[in-house]
Amino acid sequence: MRSSELPPDREALADRLKKIGLHGIAASLGGMADLAPVVDLVGLEETDRRKRSYERRLRHARIGAFKSMADYDWRWPSRVDRVALDELFTLGFVEEGTNVILAGPNGLGKTMILRNLAHHALTQGLSVRCVSASEMLADLASQDSSSALRRRLRRYCVPKLLCIDEVGYLSYDSRYADLLFEVVTHRYEAQRPIVLTTNKGFADWADVFPHAACVVTLVDRLTHRAEVITLEGKSYRLKESEELAEGRKKRRRSAHKEHA
């Protein structure tokens, strides 16, 4: 009996079997009286494949350590659009091919948001690559031939979501600007989005890539289909550092009084 002639429940099971390559069992479903063992086996195989797929994608993503968004102090930034940030985690921007730019000074949690977003996309079955701008550009610049560069570009152009951290923290020569332009252009044409963090306004990107002719076009393609979310405020890391320093001073003052 062909799968198209099976009852709906058996046809659905046949489709699941074919997806995991068990075409022979799928073709035999019409003659089976008890499907429970087959259903159990298919479920086990599907679960194992999802687990192995997640672990493989997690290795390739290179997200690194990060704190959960549950630990994010929404009260600290003087300006943060929580509704817009929460909406990012629906991943609608991925399907729309819309870039996301997280802009603002150092120490406001841009990297934390980026890594949480990358990890969430992974849990939803997407392929992800997470990298700092300096690491990616140095990697591409180190390729010793045009064919090697084309192969290496796939690392950053193929994943469904590319997360680039810390654009603007260092200055780069025009060669590096051209390489970033290549990545942005490939992903722009394929409508594969980029999530990017920067501590510079786009008007200042000419200082990040001095003497690069492609900066205006680079910014134009990056922002053409993009949501720019700006965070404002003082560095949370600086706040923590000051609190730790004050705590040490208090402990030392107490110790001095005890020994006086």
pLDDT of residue 97: 97
pLDDT of residue 5: 56
Q: Reduced to 3 states, what is the DSSP secondary structure of residue 157?
A: helix
Quickly state the pLDDT bin for 260 (edges 50, 70, 90).
low
- Residues 108-160 have pLDDT tens digits of 999 999 999 999 999 999 999 999 999 999 999 999 999 999 999 999 999 99
- CA 207 to chain CA centroid, nearest Å: 26
Evaluate the CA torsion angle 183, 184, 190, 192 in order and state its sign.
positive
pLDDT of residue 9: 83
Helices (H), the chain: 8-19, 23-27, 36-61, 82-88, 92-96, 110-123, 133-141, 146-157, 174-190, 205-208, 215-224, 236-259
CA-derived radius of gyration, the chain: 25
Paired strand residues for 232: 79
As a whole number of angstroms, the distance between CA 176 and CA 164 comes to 14
Q: What is the mean pLDDT of residues 36-44?
A: 89
Which three-class secondary structure string do you get for 27-63? HCHHHCCCCHHHHHHHHHHHHHHHHHHHHHHHHHHCC
Tell the residue number behind the tokens 């786009």, with chain if given.
202
Range name among 31-40, 96-105, 180-189, 206-215 with the lowest pLDDT average: 31-40
Topology of domain 69-238 in CATH is: Rossmann fold (3.40.50)
For the cut 80, the answer to whether the pLDDT of residue 57 exceeds it is yes
- Tell me the pTM: 0.80
- Residues 147-203 have pLDDT tens digits of 999 999 999 999 999 999 999 989 999 999 999 999 999 999 999 999 999 999 999
For the cut 60, the answer to whether the pLDDT of residue 2 exceeds it is no
Give the CA count within 13 Å in the CB-facing half-sphere of 173.
3
The average confidence (pLDDT) of the chain is: 90
Domain boundaries, the chain: 3-59, 69-238
pLDDT of residue 161: 98
Are 127 and 160 in contact by the 8 Å Cβ rule? The answer is: yes
Comparing 249 with 30, the larger pLDDT belongs to 30
Quickly state the pLDDT bin for 245 (edges 50, 70, 90).
low
